[in-house]
Structure 1
Amino acid sequence: MKYITLRLKNNEVRQNYYYFTELHNTKIDISKCDEGKLEWVNIDEMLDRKMPFTAKECLKHYLAIGKDNDNLYAGVSTNNGVIFTELNEF
């Protein structure tokens, strides 16, 4: 898990969890899925895809911080985007 986001939409608080991984076997069969159509997308094209607001903001943040960053982040949506805060262990 990399991100937990909160968003107020239509008088409803929406909480999402976003996970990232690096696959070494890209021949995995992704054709069987109950979540809709899955497909492999080139990293240069993924931000051009239609997706939920917080998902796109998490992807932008993830690409900016680099894949080797092991921190967990909380994101709260605003009218201007998502504010990300690094979560630390105490």
Structure 2
Amino acid sequence: MQVRNVISSFISAVSACKSRISSMVARVDATESRQCQQVTNDVFTLEGIIAGLSVECVGITRRTDSERPRPSGVAGGPCMPTATNCDLSTDLL
């Protein structure tokens, strides 16, 4: 009879452990999912910022192109900024 009680207690303890482990796994999964979603949101935010800065940079480049005097003898000038000089998507990486 005592052996049966010990076995029953052991089975109950194992079941409780399994339940706790399952609960912990669920919490870890939820945390990982939230972290992954936050990283995804951050990436989308950064992509938007980069796109906005690229557009702004191209606009500035166009204004300065029309205002800047061209060096003599060089078509367009050697140091004229271009949209590729403002490609922030690669410059920031």
Which structure carries more strand by proportion? 1
Which structure is richer in relative contact order (CA contacts within 8 A, separation 6 or more)? 1
Same fold (TM over 0.5): no
Q: TM-score, normalising length from structure 2?
A: 0.23
Q: Between Structure 1 and Structure 2, whose CA radius of gyration is higher?
A: 2
What is the TM-score of this pair, normalised by structure 1? 0.23
